Amino acid sequence: MSVPVLTFFNHKSDIGKTSLVFHVAWMLSEMGKRVVAIDLDPQANLTSAFLPEDVLEVLWDPDNTAQRNTTVYQCVRPLSEVGDILEPKTQAINPRLHLVPGDLGLAGFEDFLSQEWPNALGSGSLYRPFRILSSFWQIAQSAARQHSADIILADVGPNLGAINRSALIGTDHVVIPLAADLFSLQGLRNLGPTLRAWRADWSKRVDNWTNPAFPLPAGSMQPTGYVLMQRIERLSRPVMAYQKWAARIPETYRQSVLNQPTSPRVQPIDGDCLARLKHYRSLVPMAQEVRKPIFQLTTADGAIGSHSAAVRDAWSDFRALAVAILERINLPEESQAH
Ligand SMILES: Nc1ncnc2c1ncn2[C@@H]1O[C@H](COP(=O)(O)OP(=O)(O)O)[C@@H](O)[C@H]1O
Ligand SMILES: [Mg+2]
């Protein structure tokens, strides 16, 4: 049995993907779930949100030969020669939350993944192409086995390239963070067809390998819903503009992502909106400074006065989002004892 992988995906940058993975990972672990977070963005922002600089320095030190399996890239690198995937050495964030760190070097793996994509449809030996294309999923599953994880959360970069295609074929559930603006709606129109194409292309490849020598991801990429992020610009823009774009999201999501026809006579219900997240303003830099989720800030961190009410609101917002996600992906809220 594989552990479910959930990816927050949108090919637009600065929408709040990394921040969502960070906060939802923390919240799920507080709720008793065992979580593995994996940083598949070569920018490694999730990794630097979780880990202090002195730890990063050691993880990323090119001269440190003792550490050869501490980032995703280090674990896949032997594939580009004659080796196999390395078992990842994870970082404990709390007793129920472990991170497979990212690494800027991962960018160099993009071309390699891209070259292997057609080979999985070939008639030659399929072992290597499938090993390479499913490598992120294999690493995430190893980390999940090490920690008896209930769920894996993946963070990805803002593009539709080969790294993200590999991340998504290893994804069971997709949550799409969106802002209420024209760019987000346009992006949404590309996102749905891209996910469908990747799903179909992966399924063709899997069908081409009659006797797989190791488990492969299903590549189901089930749309779980979207999270509406309030942008900072929203604070200075007229409420009307925000409402206009926000009102168009349910229909565009249904058409593009769910591939369902819409009718002008049927008003789409907003059932796919998992949460509307506020802009947390000054709590964000305060939390980043101490590498904590916003909802764990204390008076000692500077969350005093009206900030402490905002911290409680953030706790309720992320709790509701985590509950909505668990419900949508059919993971019981009550954790089994491990
Ligand atoms: N709900 C929020 N309130 C305030 N700032 C946010 C919120 N979500 C994200 N941010 C900030 O917006 C910026 C982009 O977020 P990030 O999660 O890095 O986006 P992405 O991963 O999509 O590029 C970061 O500086 C982050 O701290
Ligand atoms: Mg990011």
Instruction: Look at residue 255 in the predicted model and tell me its pLDDT.
Output: 94
Q: Is the CB of 11 under 6 A from ligand 1?
A: no
Which ligand 1 atom sits closest to the C-alpha of 285? Answer: 27
Q: Is 19 in the pocket of ligand 1 (CB under 6 A)?
A: yes
Task: List the one residue out of 157, 166, 19 whose CA is nearest residue 85.
Answer: 166
Query: Is the shortest distance between the CB of 184 and ligand 1 below 6 Å?
Result: no
Cα radius of gyration rounded to whole Å, the chain: 20
- Residue 230 CA: which ligand 1 atom is closest? 1
* CA 24 / ligand 2 centre spacing (Å): 14
- For 37-67, the pLDDT digits (tens) are 999 999 999 999 999 999 999 999 888 777 7
pLDDT number for residue 235: 55
Name the closest-CA residue to atom 11, ligand 1: 16
Q: Is the CB of 277 under 6 A from ligand 1?
A: yes
Please write down the long-range contacts of 121-128, taking CB distance under 8 Å and 24 or more positions apart: 121/204, 121/205, 121/208, 122/208, 126/208, 126/209, 127/213, 128/79
Return the closest-CA partner of residue 34 out of 7, 73, 4, 72. Answer: 4
pLDDT of residue 269: 64
- Cβ–ligand 1 distance for 282 under 6 Å, the answer no
C-alpha of residue 152 to centroid of ligand 1, in Å = 21
Q: Whose CA is nearest to atom 27 of ligand 1?
A: 284
Give the residue whose CA is nearest to atom 9 of ligand 1.
16
Q: Is the CB of 15 under 6 A from ligand 1?
A: yes
Nearest ligand for residue 39 CA: 2
Q: Angle formed by the axes of helices 17-30 and 306-328, to 10°?
A: 80
> Counting ligands in written order, which one lies closest to the CA of residue 17?
1
For residue range 135-149, list pLDDT tens digits in order: 999 999 999 999 999
Task: List, run by run, the mean pLDDT of 10-residue segments along the chain (338 residues).
Answer: 96 94 98 98 98 95 81 96 95 98 96 97 96 98 98 97 98 96 92 98 98 97 95 61 88 94 67 93 94 97 93 97 97 69
Query: Residue 127 is encoded by which pair of tokens?
Result: 């072992």
d(CA 321, CA 21): 12
Gap between the Cα atoms of 115 and 162, Å rounded: 9
**In the prediction, which pLDDT does 266 show?**
61
Q: Which residues surround ligand 2, an ion (CB under 5 A)?
A: 17-18, 45
Report domain extents, the chain.
5-282
Give the number of the ligand closest to the Cα of residue 42: 2
- What's the 231 CA to ligand 1 centre distance in angstroms? 9
Give every CB contact of residue 189 below 8 A, 6+ residues apart in sequence: 252, 256
Query: 9: CA distance to ligand 2 center in Å?
Result: 10
| pLDDT confidence of residue 38 | 99
Answer whether 233 contacts ligand 1 (Cβ < 6 A).
Answer: no
The CATH classification number of 5-282 equals: 3.40.50.300
Please report the pLDDT score of residue 238 as a whole number: 64
At residue 151, the pLDDT reads: 98
pTM metric for this prediction: 0.96
